[in-house]
Amino acid sequence: MTGKPLTILGIETSCDETAASVVRGCAPGPGEILSNIVFSQTEAHAPYGGVVPEIASRAHLEILDGVIEQALAEANITLAALDGIAATAGPGLVGGVMVGLTTAKALALASGKPLIAVNHLMGHALTARLTHGVDYPFLLLLVSGGHCQLLGVGGTDDFRLYGSTIDDAVGEAFDKTAKILGLPYPGGPEVEQAAKAGNAKAYALPRPLVTGHNARKSADFSFSGLKTALRQLVENEAVSIPDASASFQAAVIDILTDRTAIAMQRFRTDFPDGNTLVVAGGVAANQAIGAALGRLCAAEGFVLRVPPPRLCTDNAAMIAWAGVERMASGAGDALDISPRARWPLSN
C-alpha cells in the first residue's frame, strides 16, 4: 500500500438495502472493513415481487440513523476520528439516494469532514481492490439487478464500456424468471438453488445475440427473449422448476461467457499488460456463473477475482472504499451536490 490510510464512513441507500460501513485503507488495497451493517428491506417488498420506491425511501428514512450509529459503534470510532463521509449519490431510486446523501451532508456539515459523493457502480467496480488489492487495469463484468455491463477499468476515472444490455439486466432476468416459476423474490438465489437439482438440457432456451440469425460479434447482452421463451414454455406445459431453473441458468452462463470472451479481446487491445477479470454486483454471488467464468479465464490466460457474496450484493463497505480511493486522488464534493437517478460510469 502507498500513502496514508484513510478511514471513511460509507452510506448506501440507492435500492432496498439500508447500509453503513467504516473502512480503513489506501489504494490499491486491500482495505480493512471495521464494520459493515446491511439492513435488507427484502421482506417489505416481497409481497410486490419487486422493489417499491416509496416503501424503500420511507424505510431508509426510518432506519438509516440507527444503522449509521451501529456502524460507528462496531468500528469503535467517532465521527471526529473519520477522514471523510462517503454516500451513494446515484444511480438508483432517487428518493432513497436522497435520504442517504442528505444524511451524509448533515454529518459532514456537523463534523467538518469532507463529503464524497460516490457512484454506486464505482462502488461495485472497485470492491475487488478492497478485498483483493487488485491492480489497475482490470476487465469488469458488472452484473446486478439494475446493470449488466463489461468495462475496461484503467483507474478511478478511466472506465471504457465494451458492452451493455440492450434490454433487461441479468439480475432482473433472474428475478423475472423466479416470478414466472412461482419462486420468491429476490429470485437470483432461489433460481440458483433450484437449478442445483435440475437438468440444464431439459429445455432448449434461446441465447439472444449469441446464436441464431441475429448473432452479434459485440459484447452487448440481451435477456428479454430468454425470459419470453421461458414464459411461453410455462404457459404451454407443466414444467419442472429445477429443470427450468437449470436450463435458464445455463443459457445465462452461455451468454455471459460468450460476451466476456469478446470483451477480453478488446481489453487486451486497450491494456496489453492486463489479465484480470473482476466480477461484481449481486449476480456475482452465483457460484455456477463464477465457476463458468473461472473456466473461461483459465482458457484465456486471465486471473478471476470475485469478492465474497456479502460484498457482491449491495453494501456500504464498497461505498466507503470508493470514498477512500476518490479522496486519495484529491476528490471531494460540495454540499449542494444533487442525487442522480442515472449516472453512467463511462460516456
Binding stretches for ligand KG4 (CB under 6 A): 15, 144-146, 171-172, 174-175, 186-189, 192, 281-283, 285-286, 313-314
Element (H, E) at 211: none
- Cβ–Cβ < 8 Å for 323, 84: yes
Query: Angle formed by the axes of helices 241-270 and 287-300, to 10°?
Result: 40
User: Which entry of ligand KG4, Zn ion, none binds 84, CB below 5 to 8 A by partner kind?
Assistant: none
CA dihedral of residues 213, 223, 183, 179 (deg, nearest 10): -100
User: Which entry of Zn ion, ligand KG4, none binds 253, CB below 5 to 8 A by partner kind?
Assistant: none
Query: Which residue, 113 or 176, is less far from Zn ion as judged by CB?
Result: 176
How many Cα atoms are found within 13 Å in the side-chain-facing hemisphere of 18?
A: 26
User: Which entry of ligand KG4, Zn ion, none binds 137, CB below 5 to 8 A by partner kind?
Assistant: none
Least distance to ligand KG4 from the beta carbon of 1, Å?
Answer: 27
User: Which entry of Zn ion, ligand KG4, none binds 171, CB below 5 to 8 A by partner kind?
Assistant: ligand KG4
Q: ω into residue 206 within 30 of 0, thus cis?
A: no
Terminal-to-terminal C-alpha distance of the chain: 31
User: Which entry of ligand KG4, Zn ion, none binds 285, CB below 5 to 8 A by partner kind?
Assistant: ligand KG4
DSSP 136: S
Query: Which residue, 243 or 314, is less far from Zn ion as judged by CB?
Result: 314
Quick one: which of 339, 327, 342, 347 has its CA closest to 31?
Answer: 327
Query: Which residue, 144 or 165, is less far from ligand KG4 as judged by CB?
Result: 144
Query: Which residue, 184 or 212, is less far from ligand KG4 as judged by CB?
Result: 184
Least distance to ligand KG4 from the beta carbon of 40, Å?
Answer: 9
The residues binding Zn ion (CB under 5 A) are 144, 314
